[in-house]
Structure 1
Amino acid sequence: MKKQVLLFVFLASCLFTGCDDQTDELSGRSFNLIYPTTLPSGQSNHQGLTVFTFKDGTVETPYMNDVEGEYALKEEELKVVFQEDSQKLKITFEDFDASTKNYSTYSAIIEQVELKTSSNQKARGLSKLKQIFKVDFPVEFLER
């Protein structure tokens, strides 16, 4: 009888949670995003992009004052979406995984950067944020 109850509890929990055992490892953490580069002398260097602060499915960046975005991390893909009025910026990072570099927590490649507007307004903050992300570039996430 105990086995049947345990099996029922397990199945019920899978139904309510979607059987997703992946926890949100980014929530409550903040990262400097950088492009890693190597100088002609062979030394490592990096160009700072922005800061992402993650919390319970939302993400903040200094480029967007008072605007929270949303994010989703599934397997090795991180999707970040910022929306302001009639503008929407979607950034997709592929191969998101633990970094092999000793100074960085995660690494990824920028797969997509897409800005959509549904009005004639200029997407000032969003277009500035879009300009710093270059498709197919590697990016490192340095924990703050």
Structure 2
Amino acid sequence: MLWNRKNFGNNRNRIEGLKAQLGIVQQKAFSEENFIQERAIKEELEITLLKEEMYQHQRSRLNWILYGDRNTSLFHATVIQRRQRNQLSKIKDSDGSWISKENEINDHLYDYFSSLFKSSGSRNFDSLLQKVDCYIIDEMNKGLT
């Protein structure tokens, strides 16, 4: 633990501090000095985020090495925890009522996103295409097709 703090510091505290500094700099009026300072903070934040990501990755590997082979419940607990964290348990429909059954949620999401990509307008683009200059002549078009 001491080695970790000495070599890596507390990445989470550093990340929060850098985000706060970035917010302060971004609220200031634009100037070349502020721009350079913002870029430096962003670079340092990116490096610190990468350090934290590497640390968490190594820590998860260490936990797996220490406990994974002896205890398969660790594996199952992490899988179950991840699955539950990313699961949608209920959703509010357009009427404001809650839907909690899985098949109804799936149907509602399918209908909603399907309607986003449907066109209800006119499909006649002739007037628009009249304003576009033609660069490919019929002979070129025959060669292309």
TM-score normalised over the length of structure 1: 0.22
Query: By percentage of residues, which structure has more helix?
Result: 2
When Rg is computed on C-alpha atoms for both structures, the one with the higher figure is 2
Query: By percentage of residues, which structure has more strand?
Result: 1
TM-score normalised over the length of structure 2: 0.21
